[in-house]
């Protein structure tokens, strides 16, 4: 395949670097340190297994699920229909 001025494997190197940067950013956002024993939202006890599995955990499973559900809603129309964008 002709790649112009790029050397062999240059495209794959760029893809690898992009993925590596994304992984580093995601890991940097993870909380560190000891987790809480009780949820900071509802004060429910956080099981020891969850605190070991998720370092720096601050929410119980129910509160975390509710927070993730709120964050997942973007409010944008992803269907691409102009009619639905005008509503």
Residue 19 domain flag: no
Residue 11 domain flag: no
Residue 62: give the domain boundaries. Answer: 31-72
Q: For position 30, what pLDDT does the model report?
A: 77
Residue 4 domain flag: no
Q: For position 32, what pLDDT does the model report?
A: 79
Residue 37 domain flag: yes
Tokens of 43: 């004060």
Residue 8 domain flag: no
Residue 5 domain flag: no
Mind listing the pLDDT tens digit of every residue in the chain (87 residues)?
Answer: 555 676 778 889 999 999 999 999 988 887 777 889 999 999 999 999 999 888 889 999 999 999 888 877 656 655 666 655 555
Any idea what DSSP says for residue 5? T
Q: Which of 44, 72, 39 is nearest to 58 (CA)?
A: 39
Q: How many domains does the chain have?
A: 1
Residue 13 domain flag: no
Residue 49 domain flag: yes
């Amino acid at each position: 395949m002709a790649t112009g001025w790029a050397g062999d494997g240059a495209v794959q190197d760029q893809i690898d670097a992009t993925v590596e940067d994304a992984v580093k950013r995601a890991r940097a956002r993870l909380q560190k340190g000891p987790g809480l024993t009780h949820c900071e939202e509802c004060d429910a006890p956080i099981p020891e297994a969850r605190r070991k599995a998720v370092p720096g955990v601050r929410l119980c499973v129910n509160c975390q699920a509710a927070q993730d559900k709120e964050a997942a809603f973007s409010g944008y129309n992803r269907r691409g229909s102009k009619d639905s964008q005008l509503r």
